[in-house]
Structure 1
Amino acid sequence: MIDTSFYRWLRPLLRRRRRGLRAPEEFRPRGTSSKISRLSARYDAEVDAALERLWPKARVYHDREFTRDRADFLLVVRGRGVMIETKVKSDPGLFRGSTLPPLLDRLQRDGRRLVVLLNQGDPTPARELVAAKLGDKARVIVWSGPADDAALCEAVESLLKQATRHA
C-alpha cells in the first residue's frame, strides 16, 4: 500500500534542527572531528599569517587536500620555492616524524627543499630522519608563534640560497 500522507514525506524537510542534535559524521566538515584536526587547522592559519608577515611580496600556495606525500605550503620568494610542512603534536614529547616518509620520498625524487614546522616537542629524531633522506635540503624547526619567527626566517632563507630556480 502506498503512503499518501504528504505530511510524512514533508516532515523531514520542514522540521527545524533542534539544538543538541548532532549531524551525522558524513555531514560534518572534514578535519573538525578531532582535537588534533582543530589544532592543525589553527596552526596552519598561524603559519600562513607568519609567512605573509615575513615575506610580504612572496607567493604562498596552499594544498587544501589532505595527502601524506605533498607539503602543506609552497612558499615562492624571489622566484625560488621552499615546501613547508606543518606538524601538530598535542603533547610536548618527542616528534619522531613517522608520517614524513611519503613526503620525503617524493621530495627526494623531485629535488625540492623542505621546512618542517612543529608546534611543540623535541624534533631530534625527526631531524635525523629528514637529514638521512634529504641531507642539507631540509630543516626541522619548532615554531610556536611570532616569537620563533627568527628561526623560521633563518631556515627558509638558508634553503633559498641553495635552491634552484622554481618554475
Structure 2
Amino acid sequence: MIDTRLRRWLRSLLGRVRATPESYRPRATSSKVSRLADRYDAEVDVAFQRLWPKARIYHDREFTRDRADFLLVVRGRGVMVETKVKSDPGLFRGSTLPPLLDRLQRDGRRLVVVLNQGDPTPARELVASKLGDKGCVVVWSGPEHDADLHLAVETLLRQMVRH
C-alpha cells in the first residue's frame, strides 16, 4: 500500500516519464490497426514497384508524425508519400496530418496521402489549405486503384523542377 502511494506521489512530482522512446512504441493505437498499417504499407510498396519499376523507394521505419512514410524517387524527382489506414469506411478528416503538413510546407516538398478506404473530402481540404497544389489525397485499396495512384504521383512529379 505504501509502495503504491509512493509511486503515485513520485509520478505526480516528476511527471509522467515514458519507459520507451517514441520511436519504439507501436505505430498505431491498437495492435489490430498497427498490423493493418504494416500490411498496407507493404501493399503500397509493391504497388510502387509495379507502377514505377525503376524508382527508388525509401521507407521510414521510425514512428514520427512529422515525416512521411515513403519517399518515392522517380526519374530523379521525389514525392513524399504518407499512408493512412482506416478501420471503418467513414470520413477521413486527416487529424494526424498537421505536423507533417507544417514540415512539408516549410520544406516546399510534395505529398501524396494514400488512404485505404473512406471519404477523403475533409482531408483533401486540409491538404489543399496547407500545401495547395503540392499535395493530394488518393484512395487506394488495391491494384484496381493503380490508375488513381499513378495519376496523383505523376501530376506532382510534372510540377517539379529538377534541382
Larger radius of gyration: 1
4+ residue runs over 2 A deviation: 28-33
Q: Which amino acid aligns with 1:76?
A: V
Q: CA deviation at 1:164?
A: 2.8
Q: Which has the higher helix share?
A: 2
Distance in 1 (CA, whole Å) between partners of 2:141 and 2:149 is: 10
Is this contact kept in 1: 2:27–2:63, CA < 8 A? no
**Which runs of 5 or more residues in structure 1 are unaligned?**
1-25
- What's the TM-score once normalised by structure 2's chain length? 0.82
1:148 paired residue number: 145
Q: Which residue of 1 aligns with 2:55?
A: 58
Task: Tell me how far 1:103 sits from its aligned partner.
Answer: 0.2
SS of residue in 2 equivalent to 1:92: coil
Which is worse superposed, 33-42 or 64-73? 33-42
1:126 corresponds to: 123
Equivalent pairs, count: 140
Deviation per residue, 1:34-67 (Å, 9 max, x gap): 1110000000000000000000001000100010
User: Which residue in 2 is equivalent to 1:91?
Assistant: 88
Q: How far is 1:31 from its partner?
A: 4.7
Aligned partner (choices 107, 110, 116) of residue 107 of structure 2? 110
Q: How does 1:151-162 map to 2 (within 5 A)?
A: 151-162=148-159
Percent identity, aligned pairs only?
80
Question: Normalization by structure 1: what TM-score?
Answer: 0.80
Determine if contact 1:81/1:160 at 8 Å carries over to the other structure: yes
Letter in 1 for 2:153: V
Once the two structures are superposed, what CA deviation does each residue of 1:92-142 show, in whole Å capped at 9, x if it has no partner?
000000000000000000000000000000000000000000000011010
Distance in 1 of aligned mates of 2:134 and 2:89: 26
Amino acid at match of 1:131: A
Q: What stretches of structure 2 of length at least 5 have no aligned partner?
A: 1-19
Match of 2:68 among 68, 71, 74: 71
Find the residue that maps to 1:90 and give its secondary structure: coil
Are the equivalent residues in 1 in contact too, given 2:90–2:118 (CA < 8 A)? yes
Residue 113 of structure 2: SS of its match in structure 1?
strand
Choose which of 38, 43, 53 in structure 2 pairs with 1:41: 38
CA distance in 2, matches of 1:127, 1:31: 23
